[in-house]
A = this chain, B = another copy of it.
Amino acid sequence: MMVDMDEARRHEPRWLSDDEQRVWRAFREAVGMLNAHTETQLQHDAGMPQAYYEVLVELSESPDQVMRMSDLAVATRSSRSRLSHAVARMEAKGWVRREACPTDKRGAFAHLTPAGFEAIKAAAPGHVEAVRTAVFDQLTAEQVRMLGEISDAIRGGLRPRCPEVERRLAAEDGDTADGDGDGDDTGRAA
């Protein structure tokens, strides 16, 4: 038992093989460089970080260039907090306008403004060019196809877990055993 406890607690690390190491480091490096590349390009040429670009893209593709904050957060895979800060800044820049939701008084809409539309229209060509030269010009058609499959596989393995979900799961786990009857603790405090 004692031995098991020790083993079990550490859950025995399954180290990466040499090949896996190499792939992982190459991947990290590629992603890091690519990210720095596109981030710098956008910041320099369009005065916006990539995160804001993605918000503008999402808005611009939405039916009336309007989205609920929550939906926008999901679409951009960002926390509500992050989005709120981001939209506040973009509103200050005149790219987005916020509006209260009449039916749900907690809610808020984010509208893409004409200036916002111009901003993304101006930013898009440079960004797309950066992505194309850095990624698609470097890969064969087969590699592109595989990259899509690999991305899907990784995506699928990671439940869309936001920090809040993590915390709730952790709370349930730590809450001794069952916790089956969903968070009975007055949990918001955690």
Tell me if B135 and A154 are in contact (CB < 8 A). Answer: yes
A35 to B155, CA, bound (A): 11
Number of interface residues of A (CB under 8 A): 69
CB neighbours of A157 from chain B (8 A): 133-135, 137-138
Task: Report which of B19, B28, B155 forms a contact with A33, defined as CB distance below 8 A.
Answer: B155
Contact code string A2-45 (vs B, CB < 8 Å = 1, else 0): 00000000110111100110111011111111111100100011
A77 to B29, CA, bound (A): 8
Please list the residues of chain A having a beta carbon within 8 angstroms of any beta carbon in chain B.
10-11, 13-16, 19-20, 22-24, 26-37, 40, 44-47, 54, 77, 122, 124-126, 128-129, 131-139, 143-158, 160-161, 163, 166, 186-188, 190
User: From residue A181, how far is it (CB to closest CB) to chain B in Å?
Assistant: 15
CB neighbours of A139 from chain B (8 A): 150, 153-154
Tell me if B125 and A13 are in contact (CB < 8 A). Answer: yes
A170 to B188, CA, bound (A): 47
Q: List 21 A-B contacts (CB under 8 A).
A: A11-B129, A13-B124, A14-B128, A16-B128, A16-B136, A20-B144, A23-B144, A23-B148, A26-B151, A29-B77, A30-B155, A32-B77, A33-B154, A37-B161, A44-B188, A45-B190, A122-B190, A134-B157, A135-B157, A143-B146, A143-B150
Whether A151 contacts B190 in the complex (CB less than 8 A), given A16-B131, A143-B146, comes out as no
CB neighbours of A136 from chain B (8 A): 16, 20
CB neighbours of A24 from chain B (8 A): 131, 135
CB neighbours of A23 from chain B (8 A): 144-145, 147-148, 151
